[in-house]
Structure 1
Amino acid sequence: MDRWLLRAMTELSSRKFVSRLTGRFAKSTMSRRFIPRFAAAYRIPVEEAEKAIEAYGSLNEFFTRRLAPGRRPIDPGTDALVSPVDAKITACGPVKDGLLLQVKGQDYTLQELLNGSPRAGQYRNGFYWVLYLSPTDYHRIHSPCAGTIVETEHVPGRVYPVNEFGLTKMRRVLSRNERLVTYIRHEDGEVAVVKVGALNVSSIQYVDPKPKELERGQELAYFEFGSTVVLLTEEDTCAPRTDLRPGDSVKMGQRLGDLIRPTEDQG
């Protein structure tokens, strides 16, 4: 099929009302009978869930499932920055003068991604990870570090797919889609957790009650259907793992790097 036609079809299907209709069905009891088929199709490890598969009342309830205790151990390192999600690393690297370079062949500006936030300058030469959640993955989002939520922002937008096609064929999807941004202040600086909506995502939700103070690995939010998280750290506040590459998979709680304590002025 012609690439232009594929793009045009994606543009049409990215309307929010399509996601609302999909979400409405997924939350209905009628969707319950599709859970076993859905789990089998995506090879979801149902044994990890906190409840038996037949105990879920809708497809959405199953999709946003919690896991049984102990299924995602949190890295015990004192300064560890951990993955907030189960995901594949789409891209990662240093932010250079406010640019996330070559995310599937496209550059993104922090100003676009963070919707012009005055906080964008804090990440101008930091580090980033783009973490893609497929339908197979666990879809709850956790805090990558201990800290305090200092600001949140909901950025309205489209719901383009954030899979391989969306990121390579559509124009700057990560900064055009709906986003929920959480800024977390920790002992050594600040991180931004940018949750990006996607095709057929009816919403991105904070857990209730929404926390203010966070422990590392504490539940923060969840996606209703697959999506992406962009994790940002400030300049000179994190030493990323050197053995992680785009295409690698990570589990929530696994170490992405180590937070760096700032050196005190000696003068």
Structure 2
Amino acid sequence: MKANQRLLRYFIELTSHKQLSRFIGLFTKTRVSRWLIPWYVKTYSIRTQDLAKPLYTYRSLNEFFVRRLKDGLRPIDQGASALVSPVDATVTGIGRIHDHETIFVKGQNYRLEELLQHSPVNPKYKQGFFLVLYLSPADYHRIHTPVSGSIMGKNHLPGKNYPVNNFGLRNMRKVLSRNERLITSMQHRYGLITIVKVGAMNVSSIKYSDPFQQHFTRGDELAYFEFGSTVVLLMENSRFDFRKGLGLGSKVLVGEAIGYWGKKDGD
């Protein structure tokens, strides 16, 4: 690692504590922070025409960050065998889960027991599939269900607030299993899927949209991030294929098919 990278890594270690995140989070929820919204929109080239309500009605930067989109803007793929993207994001990890229950992301191996901790590891995940989806500051930050099904388990794991961008994944030690995580396991038509929502640097807050909802139709809103985040999907070993052409660097949107169980509908 180069000297400037080591310095940046050291700085991130110093500033990744929950107290700092809590302070920044409190500021982003104040009315004063709303004056940063035009700067945020310009900096990240956010399409204001996609917003569910006018820009001037957002009362804080945080309220804008967890914004909803206009109805119908993210159509949900209706193919019965489709796994759809739960978020607007960029693919930063994709592949098979190894025999020894590890996934490989940006040069680092993560054991599932590290990633899930006290959550049970489904033995059928061995030789299953994983997908890592990174949400940039410009992305829509609400999380939708990738399948229709019922929640089988939930777990909240407190942790650090390291960045989950390309630098963080490559240069920080195992950020996906050290950051705060909100874990949801769902039973669906083709087995079990685990949705790991990973917090990120500075404001690491992940919340369920409706903590009491148990049954979901594919595309329903599940949770949302407050600033910076990644979603990891874990799927069982079964007849499943990722969508043709999906790979590292691919951009995906909520509701579009990212894989299929069995044969693609219509084949």
CA shift, 1:7, in A, is 1.1
Q: Any idea what SS the aligned residue of 1:205 has?
A: strand
Q: Give the alignment partner of residue 199 of structure 2, picking from 177, 193, 197.
A: 197
Give the TM-score, by structure 2 length: 0.94
Q: Which amino acid aligns with 2:203?
A: V
Contact 1:22 1:202 in 2 (8 A): no
Structure 2 residue 102 is matched with structure 1 residue 99: yes
Which runs of 5 or more structure 2 residues have no equivalent in the other structure? none
Amino acid corresponding to residue 21 of structure 2 in structure 1: S
Residue 170 (structure 1) aligned to one of 153, 172, 186: 172
Per-residue deviation, 1:69: 0.3
Question: In the alignment, what sits opposite 1:225?
Answer: 227
Is 1:188–1:260's contact at 8 Å kept on the other side of the alignment? no
Q: Residues 184-232 of structure 1: CA distance to partner in whole angstroms, max 9, x if unpaired?
A: 1002101000000000224100003532000000000000011100011
> Are 1:44 and 2:46 matched, yes or no?
yes
Structure 1 contact 75–253 (Cα < 8 Å) conserved: yes
Aligned to 2:251: 249
Q: CA deviation at 1:237?
A: 4.9
- Offset at residue 250 of structure 1 (A): 0.3
Structure 1 runs, 4 residues or longer, greater than 3 Å off = none
Distance 2:262 2:171 in 1: 37
Residue of structure 1 in register with 2:137 after alignment: 135
- Which digits, 9 at most, give the CA deviation of each residue in 1:59-114, with x for residues without a partner? 0000001111011000121111000000000010011111102x111111111111
Letter in 1 for 2:261: L
List aligned pairs for 1:52-201, cutoff 5 A: 52-97=54-99, 98-101=101-104, 103-201=105-203
Alpha-carbon distance in structure 2 between the residues aligned to 1:60 and 1:210: 23
Opposite residue 168 of structure 1, the aligned amino acid is R
Taking a change above 3 Å as real, the CA distance of residues 209 and 157 of structure 1, as seen in their structure-2 partners, is closer
Count of residue pairs brought into register by the alignment: 260
- Cα distance between partner residues in 1 of 2:115 and 2:156: 12
Q: Which moved more, 1:139-148 or 1:252-261?
A: 252-261
CA–CA separation in structure 1 for the residues paired with 2:155 and 2:219: 21
Contact 2:161–2:204 (Cα < 8 Å) also in 1: no
The residue type equivalent to 1:99 in the other structure is T
For the residue of structure 1 that corresponds to 2:121, the secondary structure is: helix
Q: Distance in 2 between the 1:199 and 1:7 partners?
A: 12
Structure-1 separation of matches of 2:213 and 2:73: 22
Q: 1:160 to 1:251 in 2, by over 3 A?
A: same
Corresponding residue for 2:13? 11
Paired residue secondary structure (1:166): helix
Structure 1 residues 217 and 93, CA gap change in structure 2 (3 angstroms)? same
Distance 1:56 1:251 in 2: 24
TM-score normalized with structure 1 length: 0.94
CA RMSD after TM alignment: 1.3
Q: 1:119 offset after TM fit, Å? A: 2.6
Instruction: Return the alpha-carbon distance in structure 2 between the equivalents of residues 104 and 146 of structure 1.
Output: 30
Q: Which amino acid aligns with 1:5?
A: L
In 2, Cα distance between equivalents of 1:237 and 1:159:
36
